[in-house]
Amino acid sequence: MTLRTFHLPDVGEGLTEADIVSWKVKTGDTVAVNDVIVEIETAKSLVELPSPYAGTVSALLVQEGQTVEVGAPIISVSAGAQAEPGIAQPGAPMTPAPVPAPAADDEQPSASLTGTGPKADAVKRRPRVQRPSPGREAPAAVPETNVPRPGPLPRTAAEPASAAATVPDTTVPGAAASESRVPGVAAAGAAVQESLNRLLQRVLAKPPVRKAAKDLGINLADVPATGVDGEVTKQDLISYQAQRESEQAAADTFWKPARKPQEMRIERIPVKGVRRATAKAMVESAFTAPHVSIFVDVDASRTMEFVQRLKASRDFEGIKVSPLLILAKAVIWAAARNPSVNATWAGEEILVKHFMNLGIAAATPRGLMVPNIKDAQDLSLKELAVALNSLATTARAGKTPPADMQGGTLTVTNIGALGIDTGTPIINPGEVAIVAFGTIKQKPWVVGGAVVPRWVTTLGGSFDHRVVDGDLSARFMADVASILEEPALLLD
């Protein structure tokens, strides 16, 4: 029997890692060559990997949700007799044991108090009950030796001995009985009682614990104490805070009713795959390329009329047509007139592309993706419409191949689809220009000296000022606007 191990391949240019989304097989399954065995997510898209071997799945070497570097082993397949599930073949790596689920949030100590470490991990939720210290009863009162008690009060010359005897010598409240006979007895008794009350109510705790409780807004008297002589320890405070956070999580909130105590009010979403790649690229672009943005309002009434005519045309039957199609064609046309906006800054030189790989920013459930239409300058209006529809459908399904995410030269982002008038887009890395297409809606517009309702949109463009200066960016945006104002110019 031959045991073969399949290593994660590089499914795109320059990719170094991928996330295991879901396994399509399990240990003991029989697979043939080219059977889909796993779905992975790269920085570009979702990809299904076929098996390069035929045989029986011996072991799944990584778990779903795990990030794996290119070249790492992910599955082993034995050629020959079927392997028994759960029993590794000789020389085969064992299937990793499942990672234990993390403890529920109500069992986690407060990070503000513990940081990390084995002691912090061992802290568990404790019930709110007063526990006596080991070897002694719970302190219901201060020990007698620590409580100051007044002795017999001195008699005055005018007072008989029997009167002095009426003042109790064991408890403070009895001093009130002689208030009318001995001046100052009531005040002395009140002072002693106040001192006694303070002593009884004061919670024992070290200064760092008191400060932590103050910072957290916790009354130390509410914290069950387990230290010597009823002292509130740091671990007591940690347990109380964890219990309080759990109770808060279990309560209904503005966002949703709580279903489980473990459901905290802060949702944690791992940053990986497309979102991680997008975040890295946008930060790099924003702080590397000096952006300059300009905006222009456009009367797109004739574009709207043109779109309606295309929808009614038999040539476009069954093809979705929108104003984005006209904008895409306008960008291609304007870039041909201003070639430097379709370029790349390479440090020592500027690479002007004499072809257009038009990127279309697409919002998907997996994050922002920018697939591009290759050689868009060679497509007719109908072919461009078909390409746009195919690109959008594939992106929303998360099936965009890595090749379609590479090599873009200029990008369009349709923020108008979300009802936004305009914005300041960030340039896609490797490019020097991006155009934002705002919503089209009727607004008052001056035509021939009269104010009339027209379909108006706002275009926003961002440019890398190392390549595209103010004059060039203005001319490019003016050319794009001219097509939206009069699509017939495309016939020239």
| SS3 labels along 380-449 | CHHHHHHHHHHHHHHHHCCCCCHHHHCCCCEEEECHHHHCCCCCCCCCCCCCCEEEEECCCEEEEEEECC
Do strands 410-413 and 55-60 pair parallel, antiparallel, or not at all (unpaired)? unpaired
CATH number reported for the structural domain that contains residue 43 in this entry: 2.40.50.100
In the prediction, which pLDDT does 455 show?
Answer: 96
Distance CA 400, CA 403 (A): 8
Q: Are residues 218 and 322 in the same domain?
A: no
Q: Are residues 227 and 345 in the same domain?
A: no
In the prediction, which pLDDT does 43 show?
Answer: 67
In the prediction, which pLDDT does 375 show?
Answer: 95
Look at the chain and report how many structural domains it folds into: 3
Radius of gyration in angstroms for the set of CA atoms belonging to the chain, rounded to a whole number = 38
Q: Does residue 177 fall inside a structural domain?
A: no
Q: Are residues 134 and 29 in the same domain?
A: no
Distance CA 277, CA 12 (A): 14
Burial of 248 (0-12, 13-18, 19+ CB in 10 A): middle
In the prediction, which pLDDT does 156 show?
Answer: 44
In the prediction, which pLDDT does 178 show?
Answer: 43
Distance CA 469, CA 192 (A): 84
Q: Are residues 321 and 228 in the same domain?
A: no
Strands (E), 248-330: 291-299
Domain boundary among the residues 232, 261, 290 is at 261
Q: Are residues 140 and 54 in the same domain?
A: no
Q: Does residue 267 fall inside a structural domain?
A: no
Give me the torsion for CA of 188, 191, 193, 194, rounded to 10°.
Answer: 170
Q: What is the DSSP string of 253-264?
A: -SS----STT--
Q: Does residue 180 fall inside a structural domain?
A: no
In the prediction, which pLDDT does 367 show?
Answer: 73
- Concerning whether 465 is annotated as a catalytic residue, the answer is yes
C-beta of residue 113 within 8 angstroms of C-beta of residue 238: yes
In the prediction, which pLDDT does 198 show?
Answer: 55
Distance CA 279, CA 271 (A): 9
In the prediction, which pLDDT does 162 show?
Answer: 42
Distance CA 139, CA 130 (A): 10
Q: Are residues 369 and 464 in the same domain?
A: yes
Q: Does residue 358 fall inside a structural domain?
A: yes
What is the DSSP secondary structure assignment for residue 83, as one 8-state letter? Answer: P
Scanning 323-398, the segments in alpha helix (DSSP H) are 323-337, 381-396
Q: Are residues 67 and 126 in the same domain?
A: no
Return the H-helix or E-strand segment holding 30. Answer: strand 30-31
One of 7, 291, 354, 465 is an active-site residue; which one?
465
C-beta of residue 124 within 8 angstroms of C-beta of residue 104: no
Domain boundary among the residues 209, 232, 261 is at 261
Q: Are residues 334 and 446 in the same domain?
A: yes
Return the H-helix or E-strand segment holding 39. Answer: strand 36-41
Phi and psi dihedrals of 480, rounded to 5? -60, -45
Q: Does residue 98 fall inside a structural domain?
A: no
Scanning 77-206, the segments in alpha helix (DSSP H) are 111-114, 118-122, 161-164, 185-201
Q: Measured on CA atoms in the order 313, 316, 317, 322, is the torsion positive or negative?
A: negative
Q: Does residue 168 fall inside a structural domain?
A: no
Q: Does residue 34 fall inside a structural domain?
A: yes
Q: Are residues 402 and 469 in the same domain?
A: yes
In tens, the pLDDT along 373-415 reads 999 999 999 999 999 999 988 888 878 888 888 899 999 999 9
Domain boundaries, position 49: 2-79
Residue for token digits 């497509």? Answer: 379
In the prediction, which pLDDT does 158 show?
Answer: 42
Q: Are residues 319 and 375 in the same domain?
A: yes
In tens, the pLDDT along 275-317 reads 777 777 777 777 788 888 999 999 999 999 999 999 999 999 9
Domain boundary among the residues 79, 114, 136 is at 79
- pTM of the predicted model as reported, rounded to 2 decimal places: 0.53
Spans of the chain, pLDDT less than 70:
1, 12-14, 43-44, 80-202, 248-269, 274, 492
Distance CA 377, CA 373 (A): 9
Q: Does residue 88 fall inside a structural domain?
A: no
Q: Are residues 285 and 387 in the same domain?
A: yes
Q: Are residues 329 and 380 in the same domain?
A: yes
